[in-house]
Amino acid sequence: MIQSLANWILSFDILAGLGNPIAWGLSLFIVSALIFVFVAVNAIVLVYIERKVSAFMQVRLGPMRVGKFGSLQTVADALKLLQKEDIIPRSADKILFLIGPWVILVASVVTFAAIPFSDTLLAADMSIGLFYVVSISSIVVLGIVMAGWASNNKWSLYGAMRSAAQIISYEIPVGITLIAVVAVVGSLNLQTIVQAQGGTGNLFYWIPLPLPNWFIFHSPFLFLAAFIYLIGATAEINRTPFDIPESESELVAGFMTEFSGLRWALFFLSEYANATLVAFLVAIIFLGGWQSPFSNYAGAQIGFSILTLLAVMWTLFVKAKTQRLSFYPLGLSLMITIAAWLFPGFAIWLASPGLFWMLIKVGSVIFLLMWFRWTFPRLRVDQLMYVSWKVILPISLFNLMGVAVWMWLTGEIHF
């Protein structure tokens, strides 16, 4: 994307004199800025969505005052945080305290360079994209330990130590799970991984149920791997039920206890950047990335018709269970279905790959993460380790072998 942007800049007569290196540098700057803006705006939007989702789950309204339906609430909160005094405790290790939050933020922002948003929207097309993302995102733990240690506060120290132990232990099963996918594709390039998931095929190769060729439907092993990855990744980004490093009811705010103002906002920024990153990875690796679930426009029409039927059943189920009528899912799917049948152009658009599908998938995964957060209690630190080393790690190792056997059975590889 950077090179094409540079070429585009050079295509203007006035700017042609800049020469390739300067144009390239300029576009590098523009792309970096775009990514940062994306992360910042994304955090503001996600905080708002998180508050609304939690309100929805807790039978309340959430923010309603600032802007229509409280939509400007997080903007106001961000402005408030920016104005707050940046307090540095007297006994803190000043240098580490100052750079800790930035390390976390940088580590979580730069990973987006390798994320393909659509078939063309991609900052850096790396052949080792997946490896890059996984390795850079683990630098976050360094920042957390820095921040926790530098605060010179026992709660912060506990948070940092817990976080280090947690992130490092969960990286192993997560890595092995990802290797299973890499083994299927034969490439670490995220774009290649997405491209390998186009079209429609049978569920688990043999079951005659036409579903998109996403890796989650590739084999029972990858199906399981998707969930293992989701669990492990939830732990890696410190979200409930694995939020023990900042566990509010125990460690006050964990490694963030002593931070205030802008520096505190940075933690939030990176927390949501990380959540988004995980959602992107789940979408790219298991849910076909920017691929459409439908292979042609007839598929889109039929697919949404089935979805409408499911929505009818859901509505009836909810009515039977709670005596309350909720038409939102039904109404939405019915509208799309009618539109898809009436306007073939719309159906074709639905069937074509693009940013839209990517965002839908990412949004769904993020919603799932929020759902976890507002439903589950928190694990204890030893239980967390137990889950990692004694449950998830063996399963993911078994999965890796299973995938190999499966590919041999289906004839994708030969020995």
Interaction site with another protein (CB under 8 A): 54, 57-60, 154, 158, 240-241, 243-244, 247-252, 374-383
Quickly tell me which residue has 């306007």 as its tokens: 343
Cβ contact 9:27 at 8 Å: yes
User: With helix as H, strand as E and coil as C, how does 263-307 read?
Assistant: HHHHHHHHHHHHHHHHHHHHHHHHCCCCCCCCCCHHHHHHHHHHH
Residues with Cβ within 8 Å of 9's Cβ and at least 6 positions away in sequence, in order, are 15, 18, 23, 26, 27
Q: How far is the CB of 289 from another protein (least distance, A)?
A: 32
Q: How far is the CB of 277 from another protein (least distance, A)?
A: 23
Residue placing its CB nearer to another protein in the complex, 14 or 59: 59
Residue placing its CB nearer to another protein in the complex, 132 or 155: 155
Residue placing its CB nearer to another protein in the complex, 251 or 278: 251
Q: How far is the CB of 271 from another protein (least distance, A)?
A: 16
Cα separations in angstroms, 257 against 89, 245, 248, 279: 11, 11, 10, 27
Residue placing its CB nearer to another protein in the complex, 356 or 374: 374
Residue placing its CB nearer to another protein in the complex, 155 or 406: 155
Residue placing its CB nearer to another protein in the complex, 147 or 157: 157
Q: How far is the CB of 387 from another protein (least distance, A)?
A: 10
> Angle between the 261-286 and 355-373 helix axes, to the nearest 10 degrees?
120
Alpha-carbon distance of 191 to 125, in angstroms, equals: 7
Residue placing its CB nearer to another protein in the complex, 254 or 353: 254
Alpha-carbon distance of 143 to 105, in angstroms, equals: 9
How many CB atoms sit inside 10 A of residue 327's CB? 10
Q: How far is the CB of 250 from another protein (least distance, A)?
A: 5
Cα separations in angstroms, 186 against 175, 196, 259, 267, 412: 15, 10, 44, 36, 11
Q: How far is the CB of 318 from another protein (least distance, A)?
A: 15
Q: How far is the CB of 83 from another protein (least distance, A)?
A: 24
Cβ contact 197:122 at 8 Å: no
Residue placing its CB nearer to another protein in the complex, 58 or 127: 58
Q: How far is the CB of 189 from another protein (least distance, A)?
A: 37
Q: Give 366-372's long-range contacts (Cβ < 8 A, gap of 24+).
A: 366/46, 366/49, 366/275, 366/276, 366/279, 367/53, 368/230, 369/234, 369/239, 369/275, 369/278, 369/279, 370/49, 370/50, 370/53, 370/54, 371/53, 371/57, 372/234, 372/239, 372/240, 372/241
Residues with Cβ within 8 Å of 342's Cβ and at least 6 positions away in sequence, in order, are none
Quickly tell me which residue has 């909810």 as its tokens: 318
Residue placing its CB nearer to another protein in the complex, 129 or 241: 241
Q: How far is the CB of 371 from another protein (least distance, A)?
A: 10
